[in-house]
Structure 1
Amino acid sequence: MTGDRHPTMALLGALLLTGVGVAACGEPTPGPCGAVVVCEPGERCFSDPACDAATRCARGPEAELYGRSATQAGACVATDDDGCRRSAVTCPFWGQCSAPPDGFAPGGRCPETSRRDGDYLAAHRPACAGQGTCVALHDDECASARICALEGRCTAQNGVCVATRDADCKSSELCRELGHCSLEGLACRALTIGDCAQSVACRDQGDCGIRAGACTDCRRSEWCALEGLCALGVDGCRATSDAQCRGTRACQQEKRCRVQLGRCVR
């Protein structure tokens, strides 16, 4: 009929009005995923959103960084071990090198970044282990990962790498650098004066005291208030005056109110 629009053009016009993306005339666009649709001359073409999602997952940063290269319900998910092992971050850093098995029910906490991880790794840490995310199923995955050498997280548990042995903590970079040499829960923390005293942070920055599981300046440490060890000495935090001792819990509760050889005594 004269003046009537071609049915195909009418359909595409409606799609344009509803916000569906279109490609320029003659450009190949994804058809049924894996096929190619070539636009007819004089017409415009549109791509299938499901195919766009599949391409995004298979070729985008989700696959490259995290091994999530498959698509489920429009989301990028990990479904094969090879994809997880090829990931640039999830496997080599976090030790999460396996696709989650069917029915996997995670129970662990997400790994926490430390201040040594840097902005990049902090921004690209994996989500909590679970369906659709690469997981750590074997201890050898964790043992060969960066997180083991860095933070002593060398054991696979509930899909993530965690610390379970004092020996792993003591051999970690976090122990040497920041004094996190003792196991607490599933992580390495600074729990003793000795942990901090041998650390680079103590030697270079004076962070030889302890507070909330981390090494800190002697004056801000728990041991300053408890034992009067408020001043930095050659072997760590020390008490250097009777005044420091008199303000401590050691003086109030145990009558250790004077200094002797760097400690508060009776």
Structure 2
Amino acid sequence: MLEELMIVEATIKAAEIQRDGAVYSALIGGLALGVGVFASWRTALHLQRVARLMETRKDVYLSLAASYSEMVTEIYLVMHDIKNNVPKVTQAIINFSKNVDKAIFICETDTKVEIVNFLKVFEVFCEALRADLNELSRLANELDDLSNQSDMLIKKFNDAMRVYDEVWMENPKSERVPNILNYTDAQLKRNNENIELIVKKEDELNHCKKTTEPHIDELVKELNSKVVIVTYKLRRELGAETDINLDTEINSRFNSD
């Protein structure tokens, strides 16, 4: 009987041990599963953040490249219509500067260093370009003012001739006829003097264009040579295969044309 009780007790203890082992195994398994789920969640969250950052960088960098291209295009077009295109150049520079600020905020540190170095060159470029554009704008505005004065004088002459025709038809011997003719002669004389000023101002503007255009071209080529390293860094951040030596060679060929 005693032996049977001992067997029963041993069986009960074995069952309890097995039960406790199962509980502990379940706890450990649950903990491992929880840790695995948490790790997977953290990994997925990190990958999502990396993907969002990459997508944001792509949008910012592409906008930066587009605004640089637009700025250079507007600079080269400025000679075709100085009065209207100079404000476009100014706005294009502002847009490019804004995109540079966005790129600096989101790029890697080594890329940021290259952008800052580029901005030092860009500052000098803007000062030189501003001086050229200011002189062109001054001459273009002065020419425009003279042209407007000429238009006004011609209008006064035409208005006076209409009055002359009306007066002459009513009374060819009217005392107003000589006065009107004197007035029209004065307007013609003033307009001829104004035309001489227009021709002179056009010569000044054309001379300024001839001297300024090569200078602006050199400024842009210098800027292009400095932007190559920035482009290389930005493309590398986006995972694009790029060769700085090849990029530099292509840029040199383009600038030599």
Normalising by structure 1, we get a TM-score of 0.23
Larger Rg: 2
Higher RCO (C-alpha 8 Å, min separation 6)? 2
Normalising by structure 2, we get a TM-score of 0.24
